[in-house]
Amino acid sequence: MSKFVTYVIRLPETQKAKRRIVNGVLELVEKHGGEITSGSDEDEMTILDMIEQHDDFADYIAEEARAKAKELHASAAN
């Protein structure tokens, strides 16, 4: 399994500043290798946080998901 890293960047308000950040990330990938395998304009972290805080959300689901993610990261490191 390949090693992945996820960064969440809160973009600035201006279009010019947003474009500079996007271009900077693309330039880093081009110069140093790797590839961008996914991207999103949605705010999945906020959505997930709201789901986890919902009264009907069972805590064990998040606990199991975190344990499985930890296993994936451990196996990828080997």
Question: Could you read off the pLDDT of 3-59 as tens digits, one per residue?
Answer: 788 888 888 999 999 999 999 999 999 999 889 888 887 788 888 889 999 999 999
CA 20 – CA 17 distance, rounded (Å): 5
Burial bucket for residue 23 (CB in 10 Å: 0-12, 13-18, 19+): exposed
Read off the pTM: 0.53
